[in-house]
Structure 1
Amino acid sequence: MKKRDLAAIGFMTFALFLGAGNLIFPPLMAQQAGDYWLIAIAGFLLTAVGLPALTIIVLGQLSSAEKLTSALPTWMNRTFWFLVLTTLGPAFVLPRAVTVAYEMGIKPFTDANLLLPFSILFCFITLLLALKPGKLLDYIGKVMTPTLIAMLTLLVVAALVNPLGTSLPATQDYLEQPIVNGLIQGYMTLDAIAAVAFGWVIINTIKSKGVTSKADLARYSKWIALIYVVLMSLCYLAMGYLGATSSTIAPNAANGGEILTRYAAGEFGYAGQLLLAGITLMACLTTTVGLTNANAEYYRNTYNVPFYRSVIIVTVLTAAVSNVGLEQIITVSLPAILILCPIAIALILSIIFLPKRAINAGLQSRVVIAATIFGSIDAFSVLDMIPAALNVQFNQWLPLYEYHLSWLIPVAILFVGLKITQRTQPTACAETV
C-alpha cells in the first residue's frame, strides 16, 4: 500500500469517529476540571482513544470484523451484531447525528423549523456517499477530513493567540479524582463499541487497496490506529483547551456545545458561528456515512442483502426517526448501547488475553454472559434506574460499581480462570479463530 493511501485511511478513521458528541465532551469536562484539566484529559485519552485504537488493532489481526464473534453460537453472534449496528445505526446514533447537525449547524441561523427538509437532504447526501464504498477513501480520507482538520485548526489557533479566559476552580469531583473522572468520561463516549462497527469499513478499505495477507492487514491496522491516536488526541486536547480557557465567554456552561458556540462567536463573531456550523456538519456527515456503510456491509455479508438496498433502508429509517419520536427511541436504545459496550470490550480482551485454542463457543459465550449481566447493572446505574436499597448494596459489594465499571473485575476473574483451565487441560478447546 502506498504511504499516501495509508495516511488517507488513517485520516478517514479519525473522521469516522469524530462526531459532534466527540467535540462536545472535552470542553465541558475541561471547564469543570479547572486547573486539573490536563490530568483529566490524560485519563480521558486512555479510554476515549486507547480503547478504540486497541479495537482497530485487534480487528486488523483477525483480518475481518466478523471473526470477533465467530466462535459464538450463531444466534448469539447475529444478535450481537444486529443490536450493535442497529443501535449505532438508524435506531439511535444516526438520527442523533442528524439532529445534532441541525441543532448546531442550521438552527442558530433561522427561526423556521427546517428539521424535516434538512434531515431529508442530509440523509440523501449520506446515501449518495455511502452507495460508493470504494470511493469512501477519496471522499472522506482525502477531501472531507483535511477540510475538517483545517477548520478545527483555525478555531484552535485563534484560541491560542487570544484565549477568552483562564481556568476556573475545579469542581469537587475533579478536585479529588481528576484522572479517574477523566477515565470514566472517556469510557462514556462509547467509542469502543463504535470501533467495532467501524471495523467493517476500515478493514474493507484496507483490502480495497490490494492488501490480502493477514500479516499485512495486521501491520497496516497498527499504523492506521497510530494515525487515529495522534489526530484524535490532538483534537481532544484542543477541545479541552477551549473549555479550560472559557471562563470569560461561557462560565458555568450547561454543555460543551454552548462553550464551543460562544467561543467561536467570541473569536470570529458571525463568521465564527459559520465556522462552527461547518465543523459540526462535516463531523456529523463523516460519521453518518461510515455507520451507514458499516450497516450495509454487515447485511450484505451476513444475509446477502444487496448493498444498495441496505443503504437505502438505513438512510430512510434514519430520516424518519430524526423527525418522529427521537427522544423515545433514545430512551429505548441508550440502555442497549450501555450494555453492548462492555460486551464489545470483553470480546476484544478475550482475543488478547485468551490463547486462540481457548476461544470456542462455550468459553466466549461465558465472557459475553458475564459482561452482559454486570454491564446491565452498570447501564441501569448510569440511567438512575437502580432502587436506592439495591444501590447501597451494589456500592458496598461490587468493585468499581460507583465508576460504572462493575463488569470489569468479574470478566478479568473469568479470564484468569479460563487461562488456568487451559493450562491444566491443554487440549480441551479447538482453535476456531
Structure 2
Amino acid sequence: MKRRELAAIGFMTFALFLGAGNLIFPPMMAQQAGENWLIAIGGFLLTAVGLPALTLIVLGRLSSANKLTASLPNWMDRTFWFLVLTTLGPAFVLPRAVTVAYEMGIKPFYHGDGLMMFSVLFCLLTLVLALKPGKLVNYIGKVMTPALIAMLALLVIAALVNPLGSPTDANAVYKAAPTVNGMIQGYMTLDAIAAVAFGWVIIQTIRSTGVKCDKAISYYTLRVAGIYAVLMSLCYLAMGYLGATSSSIAPNSTNGGEILTRYAAGEFGTFGQILLATITLMACLTTTIGLTNANGEYYKNTYRVPFTISATVIMSLTALISNVGLETIIEVSLPAILILCPIAVSLIIAIIFMPKTVSNETRKLSMSQTIIVVIATLFGTIDALNILGKIPASILKELDTWLPLFHAHASWLLPVLATVVISKVIHTTQRRSDVVTQ
C-alpha cells in the first residue's frame, strides 16, 4: 500500500469517528475541570481514544471484524452484531447525528420547522455517497477530512491567538480526581463500541487497495489506528482548550455545543457561526456514511442482502426515526448501547489475553468467551441502570459500598478480568496436563 493511500485511510478513520458528539463533549468537561483541564483531558484520552484504537488493532489482527464473536454460540454472535449495528445505525446514532446536524447546522439560520425535509435530504445524500463504498477513501479521506481539519484548525488558531477567557477553578469533582473523572467521561463517549462497527469499513477499505494477506492487514490496521489516535487526540486537546478558555464568553454553559457556538461567534461573528455549522454538518455526514456502510457490509456478508437494499432500508428508517425527537431516541436506545459497550470491550480483553480461544480458520465455540460475555452483560446491565437512574436509592447505596468500580460505571471490569485470569490458568493447566499425558 502506498503512503498516500495509508494516510487517506487514516484520515477517513478519523472522520468516521468525529461526530458532533466528539466535538461538543470535551469543551464542557474542560470548562468544568478549569485549571485541571489538561490533566482531565489526559485521562479522557486514555479511554476515549485508547479504547477505540485498541479495538481497531485487535480487529486488524483478526483480519475480519466478524471474527471478534466467532467463538460465541451462533445465536449470541448474531444477536450481538444485530444489536450493535442496529443501535449504532437506524435505532440511535444515525438519527441522533441527523438531528444534531439540523440543530447545530441549520436551525440557527432557519426559524421554521424544517427537520423533516432536512432529514430526508441528509439521508439521501448519505445514501448516495454510501452506495459507492469503494470511493470512501476518495471523498472522505482525501477531500472531506482535510477540509474538516482545516476548518477546525482555523477556529483553534484563532482561540490560541485571541483566547476569550482563562481557566477558572475546577469544580469539586475535577478538583478531587481530574484524571479518574476524565477517564470515566472518555469511556462514556462509547466510541469503543463504534470502533467495533467501523472495523467492518476499515478492514474492507484496506482490502480494496489490494492487501489480502492477514499479516499485512494487521500491520496496516495498526498504522491506521495510530493515525486516528494522533488526529483524534489533537482534536480533543483543541476542543478542550476552547472549553477551558471559555469562562468569559460562555460562563455556566449547559452543554459543549453552546460553548462552541458562543466561541465561534465571539472570534468570527456571523462567519464563525457559519464555520461551526459547516464543521458540524461535515462531521455528522462522515459519521452517517461510515455507519451506513458498516451496516450494509454486515448484512451483505452475513445474510447475503444486497448492499443497495440494506443501505436504502437503513437510511429510510433513519429519516423516519429522526423526526421522533432526540429525547425519545435516547430514552429508547441508550440502555442497549450502555450494555453493549462493556460486552465489546470484554471481548477485546479476552482476545488480547486469551488469543488461543479464537479460531481464525473455522468456527470454534469457546466456553471462556461465552462466560465472559454473560458476566459483562450482567454487570453492564447494572451499570446501565445506574447511569439511567433506575436503581432505588437503598440498593444504590449497597452497590456503591460492595461493588468495586460501581461509582465509575465499570463494575463489569473486575469480574471480567477475574474470569480471564481463571480461564487462562485453567487452559494453561490443561495444556501442561496434555503434554504430561503424551
TM band (smaller chain): over 0.9
Q: Distance in 2 between matches of 1:311 and 1:140?
A: 18
In the alignment, what sits opposite 1:104?
104
Q: Distance in 1 between matches of 2:164 and 2:297?
A: 45
- 2:347 counterpart SS class: helix
Code of the residue aligned with 1:92 in structure 2: it is: F
Counterpart contact for 2:358–2:366, Cα < 8 Å: no
Code of the residue aligned with 1:124 in structure 2: it is: L
In the alignment, what sits opposite 1:396?
401
Counterpart contact for 2:98–2:322, Cα < 8 Å: yes
* 1:358–1:275 CA distance, 2 compared to 1 (3 A): closer
* 1:136–1:428 CA distance, 2 compared to 1 (3 A): farther
Counterpart contact for 2:34–2:170, Cα < 8 Å: yes
In the alignment, what sits opposite 2:414?
409
Does structure 1 residue 301 correspond to structure 2 residue 301? Answer: yes
Query: 1:324: how far off?
Result: 2.3
Q: Distance in 2 between matches of 1:320 and 1:242?
A: 35
- 2:166 counterpart SS class: coil
User: Which segments of structure 1 move beyond 4 Å, counting only runs of 4 or more?
Assistant: none
Counterpart contact for 2:9–2:141, Cα < 8 Å: yes
TM-score (norm 2): 0.97
Does structure 1 residue 84 correspond to structure 2 residue 74? Answer: no
Q: Distance in 2 between matches of 1:97 and 1:192?
A: 17
Does structure 1 residue 385 correspond to structure 2 residue 390? Answer: yes
Counterpart contact for 2:96–2:329, Cα < 8 Å: no
- 1:426 counterpart SS class: helix
Q: Distance in 1 between matches of 2:8 and 2:336?
A: 33
In the alignment, what sits opposite 1:21?
21
* 1:331–1:427 CA distance, 2 compared to 1 (3 A): farther
In the alignment, what sits opposite 2:290?
290
Question: Which ranges of structure 2 fall in alignment gaps of 5 or more residues?
Answer: 360-364
Q: Distance in 2 between matches of 1:272 and 1:341?
A: 36
In the alignment, what sits opposite 2:246?
246
* 1:421–1:141 CA distance, 2 compared to 1 (3 A): same
Counterpart contact for 2:71–2:358, Cα < 8 Å: no
In the alignment, what sits opposite 1:319?
319
Counterpart contact for 1:358–1:422, Cα < 8 Å: no
What whole-Å deviation, never above 9, does each CA across 1:369-421 have from its counterpart, x for those lacking one? 00000000000000010111111110111000000000000000000100110
Aligned ranges for residues 19-418 of structure 1 at < 5 Å?
19-357=19-357, 360-418=365-423
Q: CA RMSD in A?
A: 1.2
Q: Distance in 1 between matches of 2:16 and 2:110?
A: 28
Q: Distance in 2 between matches of 1:24 and 1:427?
A: 53
Query: 1:30: how far off?
Result: 0.3
- 1:163 counterpart SS class: coil
What whole-Å deviation, never above 9, does each CA across 1:181-220 have from its counterpart, x for those lacking one? 0000000000000000000000000000000011101110
Q: Distance in 2 between matches of 1:260 and 1:274?
A: 12
Code of the residue aligned with 1:89 in structure 2: it is: G
- 2:253 counterpart SS class: coil
Counterpart contact for 2:376–2:412, Cα < 8 Å: yes
Q: Distance in 2 between matches of 1:254 and 1:296?
A: 36
Q: Distance in 1 between matches of 2:216 and 2:178?
A: 39
Query: 1:168: how far off?
Result: 1.5
What whole-Å deviation, never above 9, does each CA across 1:347-389 have from its counterpart, x for those lacking one? 0111101131477431111010000000000000000101111
Q: Distance in 2 between matches of 1:247 and 1:387?
A: 37
What whole-Å deviation, never above 9, does each CA across 1:32-77 have from its counterpart, x for those lacking one? 0000000000000000000000001000000000000011111000
Query: 1:255: how far off?
Result: 0.4
Query: 1:325: how far off?
Result: 4.7
* 1:147–1:196 CA distance, 2 compared to 1 (3 A): same
Q: Distance in 1 between matches of 2:329 and 2:183?
A: 28
Code of the residue aligned with 1:382 in structure 2: it is: I
- 1:296 counterpart SS class: helix
Counterpart contact for 2:71–2:357, Cα < 8 Å: no
- 1:189 counterpart SS class: coil
Code of the residue aligned with 1:396 in structure 2: it is: T
Code of the residue aligned with 2:191 in structure 1: it is: D
- 1:323 counterpart SS class: coil
Q: Distance in 2 between matches of 1:169 and 1:28?
A: 14
Code of the residue aligned with 1:46 in structure 2: it is: L
Q: Distance in 1 between matches of 2:355 and 2:3?
A: 33
What whole-Å deviation, never above 9, does each CA across 1:255-293 have from its counterpart, x for those lacking one? 000000000000000000000000000000000000000
Aligned length, in residue pairs: 429
Give me the identity figure in percent.
69
Q: Distance in 1 between matches of 2:119 and 2:94?
A: 11
Code of the residue aligned with 1:381 in structure 2: it is: N
Q: Distance in 2 between matches of 1:203 and 1:299?
A: 16
Query: 1:329: how far off?
Result: 3.0
Code of the residue aligned with 1:167 in structure 2: it is: P
Query: 1:240: how far off?
Result: 0.2
What whole-Å deviation, never above 9, does each CA across 1:277-322 have from its counterpart, x for those lacking one? 0000000000000000000000000100000000100000000000
Q: Distance in 2 between matches of 1:139 and 1:130?
A: 11
Question: Which ranges of structure 1 fall in alignment gaps of 5 or more residues?
Answer: none
- 1:140 counterpart SS class: helix
- 2:431 counterpart SS class: coil
TM-score (norm 1): 0.98
Q: Distance in 2 between matches of 1:418 and 1:112?
A: 59
Code of the residue aligned with 1:254 in structure 2: it is: T
